[in-house]
Amino acid sequence: MNPLQVNSPSHLMWEEQQQVKGDNILGKDDFMKLLLTQLQNQDPMNPMEHEQFAAQLAQFGSLEKLSGIEEGIKKVNSGFSDEQKLQALGMIGKEVKASGSSLDLKKGSSVSFSPALPDNAQAVRAMIYSPTGSLVRTIDLNNHDAGGAIHWDGKNDRDQEMPAGAYRFQVLAVNKDGSPVEVGSDIKGTVIGVEVNGERPMLVVKTPNGKENVEVSKVQSVVLPDKPATTDSVQAALRQRSEGAPRRVAEVAESEVESAGEGHWDRGFRAFGEDSFPGVRQR
């Protein structure tokens, strides 16, 4: 054993490790401190070469520019995210068509999805994946019509009912040339809300099969729904109908006078009142 070797206490070693521990990331301020320290402690008899000093300054300038570019990219991404949120809010109440592959399975129910298949697909295979990514069901179809819906009864390949959750499907088909192609699915429905999880806003689309979360980037088309009859239009129609009623009644009353005689007209005129027939005078 070397008598000069001294073992440091364990607590001092731990403090030393804590002091030297860092994130191993040097910024522009650290770079400038190193450069100034190097200049202050250089050998006066052997100073730093001008070329070496210029090279280090060039590196510092490059680091400064890269830092500015990074900040600019962050600002652009932030502005783009805000623009996406505004765009998503503007889609509320509109009918959208988007590409997606998610399935919202309810307990004890079934779901259907409509893949965008090529015309005259010879064979179609639909694969259902669980929320954890495991393949749970394979559905083989022959001569499936393009645009037709594929039905999943909510069970796996062993005929066991699957729990409720967000599932995903993948569809493979063979076209007329015999080449395999992967197809997606079109989601159609009305946007009823917007969810912001992180930086990407998600549209909440109400479909015949339930609610689907769709990214704004996957929206293919946006249309306004059929405009229902408003309260003002209904009231205007009723007012027009009520204004035309006395004229029609007056025409019927006058025709009855010609056919039924003077006595019937007098009784009808007094019953309705003269104000009800402004275009007809009492005989």
Reported as a pLDDT band with limits 50, 70 and 90, residue 250 is: very low
pLDDT of residue 228: 55
Q: Give ranges for CATH 2.60.40.4070 in the chain.
A: 97-187
User: What DSSP state is assigned to residue 47?
Assistant: P
Average pLDDT value for residue range 206-231? 73
| 97-187 CATH | 2.60.40.4070
- If pLDDT is split at 50, 70 and 90, which confidence band does 253 have? very low
B/e letters for 70-102, b = 16+ CB within 10 Å, e = fewer, are: eeeeeeeeeeeeeebbeebeebeeebbbbbbbe
pLDDT number for residue 237:
57
What average pLDDT does this structure show over 181-194?
78
The model's pLDDT over 2-21, given as tens digits with 9 standing for 90+, comes to 444 445 454 444 444 445 44
Helices 28-40 & 50-89, crossing angle to 10 degrees? Answer: 170
Burial class of residue 128, CB neighbours in 10 A (0-12, 13-18, 19+): buried
User: What are the residues facing 256 on neighbouring strands?
Assistant: none
Confidence of residue 131 (pLDDT cuts 50, 70, 90): confident
Give the pLDDT confidence of 63-95 residue by residue, as tens digits.
Answer: 677 766 777 676 666 555 667 677 777 888 888
Q: In the structure encoding, which two tokens stand for residue 235, read together?
A: 């009231």
Q: What value, to the nearest 5°, has the Cα angle with vertex 260 and ends 254 and 266? A: 60
190 vs 17: CA distance, rounded Å: 59
Residue 252, pLDDT above cutoff 50: no
* Structure token pair of residue 87: 């765009």
Global confidence as pTM = 0.39
Number of H helices, E strands in the chain: 5, 12
Confidence of residue 235 (pLDDT cuts 50, 70, 90): low
4-8, 78-82, 110-114, 124-128: least confident range: 4-8
Is pLDDT of 241 > 70?
A: no
pLDDT value, residue 78: 59
The whole-number pLDDT of residue 5 equals 47
Q: pLDDT tens, 26-68?
A: 666 777 777 778 777 777 777 766 677 777 777 777 767 776 6
